[in-house]
Chains A and B, each alone.
Chain A
């Protein structure tokens, strides 16, 4: 299966900007999550981020918080999520990136956690509450298992931190587009453009912009500013949760296609 880095190499060879949708596992149920992964994969996703529902999602806004709460109320367990991933991942073109808070990882033990997600076919890992200073214990053992750990850069990160994070990050660099939590916003802050330039000056690694991107115009804007990937979360989670699962799946299919069209060469 393709790694996150390999996926970006391929895209770069074709001068394409990647689309990375995010959905929360277990909302409304894991069967729908499995189907959503397949739908996204054939509707233009290049990589897919799968959120592990957590009781205290500090970095998430109301949409993803609510999705996590619903998933947990339905009894979604990490083992069930990984079992589902193990079945679905081999049928997908897109590498899967797991988005999880740190506590469920240390609860299982870092080594065991990495072993379990690698066995399920996960290729990348985003841990929003694990900053650079605390990531040493994760980067090496993850690399040993073929899991790339994607670190985040924020608008508040000073230049020397940006360089250090870019140096350590694997797969790509996740550029948080706003000072804030995840969620739909009406426009993308203009300073993202400068941040992409700052990052580009210190690294050749791919850059993915996320948090707040909710419309095809945003995606296009971010691509034009030089981003290698656009990450869209809450806007997918919200659509998938509206109406019946079939309606939700139909809705994310159309949305995924429209996002893809907005960042594809004319």
Chain B
């Protein structure tokens, strides 16, 4: 069996201005100009900006058909790995090779528009997640019955209950058909019975030979779904191996 994901010495550096939320640190043109005029030789580092290595020299391989869990504390860098592999952010150094079509599921219902009907959102969301129109046509009935919202499929989703909304969103995602699926903490959606259904669907997905990379805080899911797991600590891999062992290592931390 060959690796379908090869991650080699991946590192990601973030610059953070103290006192400013990292998610929104755009600068105005004036700030850039002032900075350039006032201190043309000052590197960002001295300018009060902090540098954080969200990932430092991370390497691992995922075999074809494997379900790999990524666990670790908040802020350890789990989501950064997924975002780099999903091509949302670019690594600072290192490289990763993916030998298959990737779909990333970092959030359910990405691109859902409140004013559009459930039907319209299935098509929109499916297209955003990388499905072809024909594929959505083929799976439409299945998606709707999985979400259990047949009656409301032509209602604008802003009138949905939050449970209905999440079920529909998950249903679209569950019917993606990539070779590699990258999933971030989206399995805990809906009530207990729907969660059970989601896990069952994930099980189907993994049985069909697809490779799944899964970030979750639910260690039970890691133990049931994943064969192997990676433990991330402060941007570095501190454990990799059979899921049970890595989970045990994490629990001891």
Q: State yes or no: do A and B come from one complex.
A: no
Residues of A at under 8 Å CB distance from B? none
